A and B are shown apart, each in its own frame.
Chain A
Amino acid sequence: MFGFLRRTWGVIKRPSVHYSLGALTMGGFLMGIVFWGGFNTALEVTNTEAFCTSCHEMSDNVFEELKPTIHYSNRSGVRATCPDCHVPHEWTNKIARKIQASKEVWGKLFGTINTREKFLEHRLRLAQNEWSRLEANDSLECRNCHSSESMDITRQSPRASEAHERFLFTGEKTCINCHKGIAHELPNLGEAALINGH
């Protein structure tokens, strides 16, 4: 084992015999483009709704529930896709979330929620994961579209403008504290839990 490592290190350390410095740098540069481009393409592909709903776990449960909500169909035709809300848009956080998502690949491979019954059994925990994520980042994914600076509360209904004035603008609460269950159905969590925001 140790000998193998030493031989590999020797190969890396020794100057190239057959290839010119130019070929090596150019080759490295091109391969860099190919790998980095490939990486980014894979990142983009896994960040589309088509990819998310290619698994029946998503398309039969949460995607079906999204369809009648205002985030899928509304008067202006602007809509949110899965990654708009569930994946951070900023690069570092996006990669962090993607690494977390490897757990979801594990879940897919072992069929953690591969039936409706299993999904319903787990949905409270799954929902709570998302709620605590959005609470922790001050509802960043909501605010990517809904900024409080651009929110004209005089155009809102009285109760909405009052609530936003009292809780949103003062920073006392964040979007997800009140707006749970707007894009997917709520799991069974009892009345008190819903109000207290857990």
Chain B
Amino acid sequence: MTMKQAFRKTLALGALALAVSASPLLAQESVATLRSGTPLAENASPPPIAPVKNTDLRQVRNYPEQPPLIPHKIDGYQIDLNANQCLTCHSRTAVEISQAPMVSITHFMSRDNQFLASVTPRRYFCNQCHVPQGVTKDLVENGFVDIDQVLEYVSGQEGN
């Protein structure tokens, strides 16, 4: 090993050591997390549980494919192998009595596009997609605009 080679190696190792020691600091400054500076070994006191909108009024979908929000409380609803309490009102046979919207027919479709007699197992767990809306502030700033606003913007640009 020549003198020059040894010097290079030392330099490289030094740079690596610096990068490794500095990286947690860098990460802490640049990455926004929901922990907001709480040390890893500690638990922050959690925010209070937000109340849920219980208006029974259907809410707008931000995009057509959005699973509709649940406009009521679902505390303690049982959805398991034995029973699905959502379906006590939203199943095909229940809506006459409950006057609730029926589960969409797309939810009866197996993954081979075959319609089954009732909700398919892959759509059985309602709250994998459908959730109530909490009355709470956004966790992060959100600049989402829906397609109508985008089209309006585009046509505005074209008009100019």
Contact = CB atoms under 8 A, between A and B. Distances in A.
Physical interaction between A and B: yes
Given A187-B82, A188-B81, A157 B88 contact: no
Interface of A is mostly: loop
Given A157-B72, A194-B88, A181 B78 contact: yes
B55 interface: yes
Contacts of A195: 88, 91, 93-94, 97
A195 to B, nearest CB: 5
Interface string A47-82: 000000000000000000000111000000000000
Contacts, number: 50
Given A159-B100, A181-B83, A186-B78, 10 more contacts: A158-B55, A178-B88, A182-B76, A185-B83, A188-B82, A188-B83, A191-B91, A192-B93, A194-B87, A195-B93
Contacts of A187: 82-83
Interface string B47-87: 00000001110000000000000001101101011111101
B38 interface: no
Nearest to A183: B76
B110 interface: no
12 contacts: A68-B76, A69-B76, A158-B55, A185-B80, A185-B82, A186-B83, A188-B82, A188-B83, A189-B83, A191-B87, A191-B118, A194-B87
B92 to A, nearest CB: 9
